[in-house]
Amino acid sequence: MHGAGVVHRDLNPAPLLLALALALLGSGCTGGVEGTPGAVGVRDPYFPGLGNGGYDVTHYGLKLDVDPAAGRLRGTATITARATQHLSAFHLDLAGLDVDSATVEGEPAAVNRAGKELTIRPDASVDDRMRKGRTFTTVVRYSGSPQTVTDADGEEEGWLRTADGSVALGEPTGSMAWFPGNHHPSDKAAYDIEVTVPDPLKAVSNGQLVARRTEDGRTAYHWRTTEPMASYLATVAVGEFTTEQARTPDGIRLFTAVDPESAAASEDVLAQIPEVLAWSRARFGPYPFTSAGAIVERTGDSTYALETQNRPVFPGPPDTGLLVHELAHQWFGNSVTPKTWRDMWLNEGFATYAEWLWAADHDGVPVGESFDEAYEDDANWAFPPADPPAALDLSDPPVYGRGAMVVHQIRLAMDDDRAFFALVRGWTEKYRHANASTDDFTAYVEEETGQDLTELWDAWLYGGSRPAREG
């Protein structure tokens, strides 16, 4: 998620709201279509009520009308999904905003709410579309003042007000603050996001800008992401940005949006994006998307960087190390996305290791030296990277620094750099635009290397104490 030295937070699970939603689902779905209700939550180890069962979203069409001065938005979410069971009802995650209406397959649907859970009960006339394997479309119209969520450690996510507009940051659960959906990383989808804002403000999101139209002093910006994206990686940034467009030599479209106050200090680092992408491609495999870039806010508008898909958001002018980290996430986290939040070390360990590799290639700092520094840092040994104690710990140092040490231990065990980087490229290819777990990763490494690495996993990935530095 963030670069070295930047610590993030997380929301605590809400078992009371989950219980209320379960009770509501059990009592409120006795009529309507046949079938059974979709599950409340997907039983994530840290957020059991996050996400929803019974369907898989394939596309979000979001139309947002933003009033930054009033801090309000009106939205229409058109959600296309495939039923994975015969559904009598299903859930959407949404925090704070008011639901004005909902339809399923064009027919009005009943909506009940318990905290952050919406229960949608389709009309009986659309029963055939709710059967397993069928695709159905839900339209939710909503409005209100989107929330900024403050976590236990004081960090903020969701919809953040900035000096000249707003920015949406979603990891791990903040995306539900501005649109309804299946907000767990295991359900990735394509997106069309159209945002209307008053001039001279601009609206920047993920993917490619496919249309822009102005009417009566307001401009609608239509962004499209065709590659699958987890909802926590979706963003909308509204502000008086300076924007630039270009292409890399291999055809990747670049779009950068920079707050004018950060423009001068960001120029040299952002100019390195094509170089960083080419360097990363040689080590991690083909770039998994068709567009790239960055969004740079003014210092103080947010307190951390986030690897939002295609163009990371930076809380002020980034340095090169942070740029390398967030662009590495386009492979590790954005393309190869964790199955659950327990697998977050696969994102952060590889992104941190990318920083070490860059420092070795460009700054004369051997990877072993970066490893030694991480090894001596007591903060990296607070818990095993593959088993954080609680949601609050998901962005703590072991997930980053010790996660990178795990990657380096694999490299040492292979004792062949060419084979090691082939292993990494094979990993990003095998799980390109998919979800992967820690178990998937350890099985893949052992299969590809032909080695039994049980001792490595036990000591570095799951061990409770600092192992001896062998090799």
If DSSP codes are grouped into helix, strand and coil, which group holds residue 143?
strand
Query: In this predicted structure, what is the pLDDT of residue 158?
Result: 97
Cis peptide before 13 (omega within 30 of 0): no
Query: In this predicted structure, what is the pLDDT of residue 373?
Result: 98
Percent of residues, the chain, with pLDDT higher than 70: 92
| Residue 7, pLDDT above cutoff 70 | no
Query: In this predicted structure, what is the pLDDT of residue 24?
Result: 42
| Residue 6, pLDDT above cutoff 50 | no
Model confidence band, residue 18 (pLDDT cutoffs 50, 70, 90): very low
Are the C-beta atoms of 311 and 204 separated by less than 8 Å? yes
E strand or H helix at 24: helix 15-28
Query: In this predicted structure, what is the pLDDT of residue 152?
Result: 58
Query: In this predicted structure, what is the pLDDT of residue 308?
Result: 98
Q: How far apart are CA 141 and CA 143, in angstroms?
A: 7
Q: What confidence tens digit (pLDDT) does each residue in 430-457 have?
A: 999 999 999 999 999 999 999 999 999 9
Query: In this predicted structure, what is the pLDDT of residue 150?
Result: 76
If you average pLDDT over residues 20-33, what whole number do you get? 46
Query: In this predicted structure, what is the pLDDT of residue 469?
Result: 83
424 contacts: CB under 8 Å, gap ≥ 6? 283, 284, 285, 350
If you average pLDDT over residues 373-393, what whole number do you get? 97
Pair of tokens at residue 396: 């703590």
| Chain position carrying tokens 């947002």 | 64
Query: In this predicted structure, what is the pLDDT of residue 331?
Result: 99
Model confidence band, residue 153 (pLDDT cutoffs 50, 70, 90): low
Pick from 230, 235, 224, 223: nearest CA to 189: 230
102 CB-side CA count, 13 A: 24
Query: In this predicted structure, what is the pLDDT of residue 2?
Result: 55
| Residue 161, pLDDT above cutoff 70 | yes
| Residue 303, pLDDT above cutoff 60 | yes
Q: What is the mean pLDDT of the chain?
A: 93
Q: What confidence tens digit (pLDDT) does each residue in 459-471 have?
A: 999 999 999 986 5
325 contacts: CB under 8 Å, gap ≥ 6? 2, 3, 4, 305, 351, 352, 354, 355
Query: In this predicted structure, what is the pLDDT of residue 80?
Result: 98
Region for 300 from its dihedrals, namely left if φ exceeds 0, alpha if ψ lies in -120 to 50, beta otherwise: left
Q: What confidence tens digit (pLDDT) does each residue in 111-143 have?
A: 999 999 999 999 999 999 999 999 999 999 999
If you average pLDDT over residues 333-357, what whole number do you get? 98
If DSSP codes are grouped into helix, strand and coil, which group holds residue 135?
strand
Pick from 26, 2, 43: nearest CA to 342: 43
Q: What confidence tens digit (pLDDT) does each residue in 202-222 have?
A: 999 999 999 999 999 999 999
Query: In this predicted structure, what is the pLDDT of residue 43?
Result: 94
Q: What are phi and psi of 133, to 5 degrees?
A: 90, -10
Q: Please tell me which residue, 274 or 153, carries the higher pLDDT value.
A: 274
pTM: 0.93
Q: How many CB atoms lie within 10 A of CB 30?
A: 9
Pick from 294, 304, 288, 290: nearest CA to 272: 294
Total residues belonging to the chain: 471
Residue type, 8: H
Are the C-beta atoms of 393 and 383 separated by less than 8 Å? yes
| Residue 335, pLDDT above cutoff 60 | yes
Q: What confidence tens digit (pLDDT) does each residue in 44-73 have?
A: 999 999 999 999 999 999 999 999 999 999
Q: How far apart are CA 338 and CA 357, in angstroms?
A: 23
E strand or H helix at 276: helix 273-284
Model confidence band, residue 1 (pLDDT cutoffs 50, 70, 90): low
131 burial (CB, 10 Å; 0-12 / 13-18 / 19+) is middle
Query: In this predicted structure, what is the pLDDT of residue 32?
Result: 67
Query: In this predicted structure, what is the pLDDT of residue 155?
Result: 79
| Chain position carrying tokens 């905290």 | 115
Residue type, 355: E
If you average pLDDT over residues 274-303, what whole number do you get? 97
Query: In this predicted structure, what is the pLDDT of residue 389?
Result: 96
Query: In this predicted structure, what is the pLDDT of residue 470?
Result: 67
If you average pLDDT over residues 237-245, what whole number do you get? 98
Q: Please tell me which residue, 244 or 12, carries the higher pLDDT value.
A: 244
